[in-house]
């Protein structure tokens, strides 16, 4: 959220906010900060139409606020994923000074293993911190309708109050 207004101020093209957005409150916040739209990855993993393995979707539904970790900083390609055996191994390899080649070799095929094949311990389960907010699998159209309706309610409430003071 801190980057959105900075990017909006720095460019002359529409800005799409991403990261940590999974409901109407996040959409309203991004729009308020000047974004023209949002990108939601983790939220749509739990859409019925998503081809992700049901075990991966279930892990997202079970996630809580501290269920994700970021790895890959030493490779120059950090990524956030649900914590599991694979992510702990990767993080340990990074701490122990493994080379980028060793880390790439270890990570090869792990995303497909976790996301598509459903190995929720040995595979990479890429997901954002918003995973803790997701509680059900539903059609993508329903997700969009609910998020837009919630954003509209939040924005309407903001229009009737300022700094917590309701205007009659």
The whole-model pTM stands at 0.89
Q: Per the structure block, which two tokens stand in for 72? A: 């890959």
Q: Per the structure block, which two tokens stand in for 124? A: 């990479």
Mean pLDDT of 148-153: 97
Residues 19-66 pLDDT 10s: 999 999 999 999 999 999 999 999 999 999 999 999 999 999 999 999
Residues 85-115 pLDDT 10s: 999 999 999 999 999 999 999 999 999 999 9
C-alpha angle 137-139-145 in degrees, rounded to nearest 5: 110
Q: Which residue has the tokens 């749509």?
A: 44
Virtual CA dihedral for 55, 57, 62, 67, nearest 10 degrees? 100
């Amino acid at each position: 959220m801190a980057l959105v207004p900075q990017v909006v101020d720095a460019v002359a093209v529409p800005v799409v906010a991403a990261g940590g957005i999974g409901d109407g409150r996040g959409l309203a916040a991004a729009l308020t900060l000047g974004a023209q739209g949002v990108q939601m990855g983790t939220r749509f993993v739990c859409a019925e139409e998503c081809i992700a393995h049901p075990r991966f979707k279930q892990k997202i539904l079970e996630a809580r606020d501290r269920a994700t970790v970021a790895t890959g900083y030493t490779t120059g390609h950090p990524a956030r994923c649900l914590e599991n055996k694979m992510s702990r191994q990767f993080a340990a390899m990074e701490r122990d000074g493994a080379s980028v080649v060793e880390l790439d070799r270890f990570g090869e095929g792990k995303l497909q293993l976790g996301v598509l094949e459903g190995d929720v311990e040995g595979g990479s389960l890429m997901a954002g911190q918003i995973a803790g907010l997701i509680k059900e699998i539903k059609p993508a159209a329903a997700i969009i309708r609910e998020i837009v309706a919630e954003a509209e309610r939040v924005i309407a409430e903001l229009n009737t109050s300022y700094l917590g003071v309701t205007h009659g």
